[in-house]
Amino acid sequence: MFTGFGGARVVAAAGALSVTLGLGGCAAKVTREDFNAEVARLRQEVQAGDAHLGSQIDSTNQLVTDHTRRLDALDQELQAFRSEYNVSIERTRDLMKFNVPVHFDFSRSELREADRPVLDRFATVVREYYPGAVVTVEGFTDPAGSAAYNRRLGQNRANAVKEYLASAGGFETSKVKAVSYGEASNRQVVPGAKGPGDAGLENRRVALVIDHAAIATDQLAMP
């Protein structure tokens, strides 16, 4: 209860009524009974207002508590994701980039069976904490072959992961984009490393980017 503010209103009103009571010569007198009744009415009005305000503050505090708890849970989930799958995460204000250990055989775009679990875990994080976010799959290649060929190969790799996230991960296709960076030298994990064979495997990869700019701030606090 915030009786300090409400009490001030009652006191002010009572003071005004007291002045009226003291003007005994006025034609329209306020009787003691009228005075007490008016004070009681004002007190009830103020108490009702205080109760409503208190309820609003309690609701706001609960939202803050829920939001904090959910953020803590997200941090724990991301820490577990990092350690379990050796994932690195880069954050900006509206984006989160997951450098996941999803790699491809030389000159191939098929998703390897061994890489599916990390994508499943990524999908779980997005569904739980970033529903409605747009995910961009970035495809990369090693520098073997022509730039044009590698752009196409990188796109095929990104498309393969996009299709997996839509089918197995339950993502809406409109919420998953696929782009290719091909053999871009500034994005190679091991500069210049290339196949055939396992050489250059680190460069034959995808990265996953969550764009959550359009999500309402309070969505993380949803139960």
Mind listing the pLDDT tens digit for each residue in 63-77?
776 667 777 888 899
Determine the Cα–Cα distance for residues 194 and 150; give it in Å rounded to an integer: 12
- Contact status, residue 168 vs residue 120, Cβ threshold 8 Å: yes
The secondary element (H helix, E strand) that includes residue 175 is: none
Q: Are residues 53 and 113 in the same domain?
A: no
Q: Confidence band (pLDDT; 50, 70, 90) for 80?
A: very high
Q: Are residues 90 and 44 in the same domain?
A: no
Mean per-residue pLDDT for 90-105?
Answer: 94
Q: Are residues 93 and 127 in the same domain?
A: yes
Residue 128 resides in a domain: yes
Q: Are residues 132 and 196 in the same domain?
A: yes
Q: Which domain holds residue 48?
A: 3-64
What is the domain-level CATH number for residue 155? 3.30.1330.60
Grouping H, G, I as helix, E, B as strand and the rest as coil, residue 209 is strand
Mind listing the pLDDT tens digit for each residue in 150-168?
999 999 999 999 999 999 9
Q: Are residues 132 and 179 in the same domain?
A: yes
The pTM score is 0.70
Residue 184 resides in a domain: yes
| Number of domains the chain contains | 2
Q: Are residues 136 and 172 in the same domain?
A: yes
Residue 213 resides in a domain: yes
